[in-house]
Structure 1
Amino acid sequence: MARLVLFSLFFFFLSILLQIQPGVGAADDDECKPEICGDIVIRFPFRLIERHSDHCGYHGFDLSCSPNYQTILNLPLTTSSSSSSNVVVITHIDYGSQMLYAEDPDGCFVKNFENFNFSASPFQLFHTYDIFYYFSCPHDSSYKGINSSELCPPYYELPCPVDCASDSTQQVYAVSINAELYNLPPWPCKSITKISDLKHFSLNWSEPMCGHCESLQKLCRFRDINNTQHNLTEHETECYGELKQVKQPRDFSKKLIITGYCLTSLVILVGVSLTYSILTSDDNKRY
């Protein structure tokens, strides 16, 4: 009876283990399937560098996933600022409107803005509400604005210092887009950019045009040139398949591996017990 129970347990756990393993193999065959980093689903035109092949994403749409599950985009830098940080953190991707919502990891986007080479990037800064102008004024200029952020008016009608972006050579000021013209810092101060928030900002892209696929509840991909008679460029895309909710959590693979290890251990344990039972039974028969 004990031997029958051990045999039953052995084949039960073995069948569970065999059911899990093919599922992993099948997922690996689809190298361009949507992936998750944190709470963000990453699919074409983006690709996740750690998991997707080069052909899975559009040129310049490379994302990476940090150890703490932050989705990272590296923006191109100007030649003169090659030593500066080009990392921004993506907090949301709106595939329908082709928008990226991002934040500066240092909480001071305007500090790095001049170092970004947006002309070499497929993404452009998207201006939203509550826009502020940012000006850079040399310390040796005659202009002296408000010298403390604590003294700034509530709606920034006057230029207010931005300490995180200022250094020994320049003082950076923020001023409301609705401020009177005569309140703006004069030359030699220069305008850096206009954004709505020091930390959070938005980027959009115009190519490839995959937003219409979202409205059709379909996925987007490169068009397979080998299966058509038309003269197509490598940049043309098409809608295909069905847009489904990706339900796997970010640590699904880890849980799967742990489950596999546990089941493997149980199979080994049952096998050892079964072998011991058989050997013990044979010894008893001899006596």
Structure 2
Amino acid sequence: MEIIIQFLLFSSSILIFFSISTQSANSCKPESCGGTLGPEVRFPFRISTRKPVRCGYPGFELSCNSQKETILKLPVSGEFRVNSIDYSSQILSMSYTGSCLPSGILNFNISGSPFRGAHVRNYAFLNCSSWEEIMAYASAFGYRPIPCLSGSNFTVLATNLLSQEDVPPICRRIANVLVPANLASAMDSLEEIDLHWSDPACSYCEKQGRVCGFKDDSSLEIGCHERARSSGISRRAKYGLIIGVGIPGLVCIVGLVCHTCGLVKLLCLRRSLNSELPTVTVPDGRLVTNGLDKPTIESYPKAVLGESRQLPEPSDGTCPICLSEYQPKDTVRSIPECNHYFHVDCIDEWLKLNGSCPLCRNSPDGSTATPCSSLSSLTLITISSTQSSGNL
């Protein structure tokens, strides 16, 4: 039974360990802010109010606003709306949270962040006369008007033509800005900007169809991990369940079956021994036994079991009379003729009624007791059935 209990404790610890591991893995699973156009957020990014610190890399914290938009806050330039994240190319596209992205670009600064411009372009912003006067220049040289920076009497244009000769005489340069413009929208009123990150380097994991993450819980070393299965149970957790439940469970079942068979066998033996005690009735109601006297019983060897519960002679670890396992410091007595051991209290009571060994039926003089078929000749006498029914 002790081995079975140890296996149960071991399997429980395995289950707890893999349960914690699975919960830990699930706590970092990808998610989004809930918007229909919001990007999937996973390592190295994390939504700071929802995920533990170890689910993301330092400096890659995102948040969600009341409109369920994904927000990145740069240390200097403020908040931007994240429109998409390309984990293979390690590029995120974002737009200004205000109504006019170019106004944010004029003072754009990525210092203090882990990002750099993905496609940096040097733009010149020009303050020109009204649109009607500058329209010919705009169409000829590809200048793009910025309506959100323009007024009724002037028009702001953006161009990546840096030569002073290209500036129309009715315009003046107001700023030169390095813009990490999105290639797809660079000529479309600067609607998006792209940022790239190089550390942590996770693109190789994505190209292998795996996901990036920390190798352990104590360092910033990066490794590739298998994607979570749709069932929500990882392969590691499944193996843990098989090892933690299957094998110990099988051992426990086998142990319980063996233990039960042993108990049944001893119980049948005890019932057999009890049923074999013969009775004879006499008219005067005297009770005569064929057992041993106290001095004789006390002369039989006794022993006190040690911590190992090992008996001086090979024997079963269970008392055949009470069916209890021997425990350290139990006192046992043996039958000299056969060296069978029993609890002292159990065998003493037995020998008072029957002088033979309960197991092999050897008597103190070395003879064998009468077989079961002829036990009716023994001299264990009880009260007659008629007196028993009248007096008891």
Please say if 1:35 is aligned against 2:31: yes
Q: Distance in 2 between matches of 1:121 and 1:179?
A: 28
Aligned residue type for 1:174: A
Q: How big is each residue's C-alpha offset from its partner over 1:113-159, in whole Å with a ceiling of 9 and x where there is no partner?
A: 2434312111222228xx6823266xxxxxxx343278535657175
Question: Relative to 1, partners in 2 of residues 1:136 and 1:181: Cα closer, same or farther, differing over 3 Å?
Answer: closer
Structure 2: how far apart are the matches of 1:71 and 1:203?
Answer: 15
TM-score (norm 2): 0.43
Whether the 8 Å contact between 1:158 and 1:184 is mirrored in structure 2 is: no
Partner of 1:127: 119
Could you tell me whether the CA contact under 8 Å between 1:103 and 1:199 is conserved in 2?
Answer: yes
Structure with the greater relative contact order (CA < 8 A, sep ≥ 6): 1 or 2? 1
Q: Secondary structure at the match of 1:242?
A: coil
Q: Aligned letter for 1:70?
A: E
1:165–1:172 CA contact under 8 A, matched in 2 = yes
| Closer, same or farther: CA 122–155 of 1 in aligned 2, 3 Å | farther
1:242 counterpart letter in structure 2: R
User: Which structure: larger Rg?
Assistant: 2
Identity, % of aligned positions: 32
Instruction: Answer yes or no: is the 8 Å Cα contact 2:124–2:173 preserved in 1.
Output: no
Find the aligned partners of 2:231 and 2:195 in 1 and give their Cα distance: 24
Residue equivalent to 1:164: 148
Once residues 121 and 94 of structure 1 are traced to their aligned partners in structure 2, the CA distance between those partners, rounded to angstroms, is: 18
RMSD: 3.8
State how 1:21-170 maps to structure 2 within 5 Å.
30-37=26-33, 38=35, 39-77=38-76, 86-127=78-119, 133-135=123-125, 145-148=128-131, 151-153=134-136, 155=139, 157=141, 162-165=146-149
The AA in structure 1 aligned to 2:47 is L
Tell me if the contact between 1:136 and 1:191 (Cα under 8 Å) persists in the aligned partners: no
SS of the equivalent of 1:42 reads coil
In the TM superposition, what is the alpha-carbon distance from 1:47 to its structure 2 partner?
Answer: 0.3
Contact 1:160/1:174 (8 A) holds in 2: yes
Residue 220 of structure 1 deviates from its aligned partner by 0.6
Q: Secondary structure at the match of 1:67?
A: coil
CA contact (8 A) 1:161 1:172 kept: yes
Q: Which residue of 2 aligns with 1:251?
A: none
Aligned length: 198
- Sort the Cα spacing of 1:156 and 1:111 in 2 relative to 1 into closer, same or farther, 3 A: farther
Unaligned runs of 5+ in 2: 1-21, 233-392
TM-score, length-scaled by structure 1: 0.56
CA distance in 1, matches of 2:116, 2:132: 29
* C-alpha contact (below 8 Å) 2:115/2:197 kept by paired residues: yes
Q: CA separation of 1:184/1:236 partners in 2, compared to 1, >3 Å: closer, same or farther?
A: farther
Amino acid corresponding to residue 235 of structure 1 in structure 2: L
In structure 2, how many angstroms separate the alpha carbons of the residues matched to 1:203 and 1:41? Answer: 17
Give the match for residue 283 of structure 2. none
Contact 1:221 1:237 in 2 (8 A): yes
Q: State the shift of 1:200 in Å.
A: 1.6
Distance 1:27 1:110, change over 3 A: same
Alignment of 1:224 with 2:216, yes or no, is yes
1:210 alignment partner in structure 2: 202
- Deviation string 1:205-262 (CA, Å, 9 cap, x unpaired) is 1111001100111111122276xxxxxxx43211012266899xxxxxxxxxxxxxxx
1:17-43 deviation digits (Å, cap 9, x = unpaired): xxxxxxxxx768732221122242110
Task: Report if aligned partners of 1:45, 1:61 keep a CA contact under 8 Å in 2.
Answer: yes
Over residues 162-202 of structure 1, what are the superposed CA-to-partner deviations in whole Å (9 max), with x where a residue is unaligned?
Answer: 352369xx985312x35765113798743123441432221
Q: Please, which runs of 5 or more residues in structure 1 have no aligned partner?
A: 1-25, 79-85, 138-144, 227-233, 248-287
Change (3 A) 1:206 1:188: same
**CA 1:188–1:155: 2 relative to 1, 3 Å:** closer
